[in-house]
Amino acid sequence: MAQEAGLVNTDAANGEDDSPQAAMLAQYVKDLSFENPSAPGVYQWQTQPQIDVQFNIGAQNVSDEVHEVTLKIDVSATAEEKTAFRVELVYAGLFGIRNVPEEQIQPFLLAEAPRLLFPFARRVLSDAIRDGNFPPLLLEPIDFGALYMQQRQAAGNLETAEPAGQA
């Protein structure tokens, strides 16, 4: 009787999988730059450099079910107005996403995917700095989910705020 009423999913009955799926397909260094502009004098400096770390997360569609997520990390170390080193890393991953509701794709790409990529990007960054003859930089874990929620709240506050100059 259910078949007669058209209530049976014939695709699932024929073996098609319609359950939500998300998986990392590949990960790779997309761009890596290490600069040591003050060498060899930098190795004689007596002061500890100040470390500045900046992050940027991006996502783009590669195809209908494949997305590239990039985690860009910029690190600069300066002491007494001189640069000890500068590292720019773009670490990327390809993620396959199928049968996931549209409203859940962006949170996955901007919170969960960077969380999966971060340990590998942290290792590449640390190795590059160590290979430049500096102590390796071990970045603390980052709560990308909390950062995503903060960004969403900030964006929501901007959308609901009145435009400047209007009463």
Structure tokens that stand for 81 in this block: 């107005």
Domain map (residue ranges) of the chain: 31-139
What is the percentage of the chain residues whose pLDDT exceeds 90? 60
Alpha-carbon distance 98 to 63, whole Å?
11
Alpha-carbon distance 124 to 27, whole Å?
12
By the 8 A CB rule, do 75 and 137 touch? yes
Q: Is the pLDDT of residue 141 over 50?
A: yes
Alpha-carbon distance 81 to 102, whole Å?
48
Confidence of residue 67 (pLDDT cuts 50, 70, 90): very high
Q: Is the pLDDT of residue 159 over 80?
A: no
The CATH topology of domain 31-139 is Bacterial Protein-export protein SecB (3.10.420)
Give how far Cα 157 sits from Cα of 112, 152, 153, 161, Å: 23, 9, 6, 6
Alpha-carbon distance 151 to 144, whole Å?
10
Which pLDDT score, from 0 to 100, does residue 111 have?
92
Confidence of residue 139 (pLDDT cuts 50, 70, 90): very high
Which pLDDT score, from 0 to 100, does residue 167 have?
34
Mean pLDDT value across residues 83-90: 97
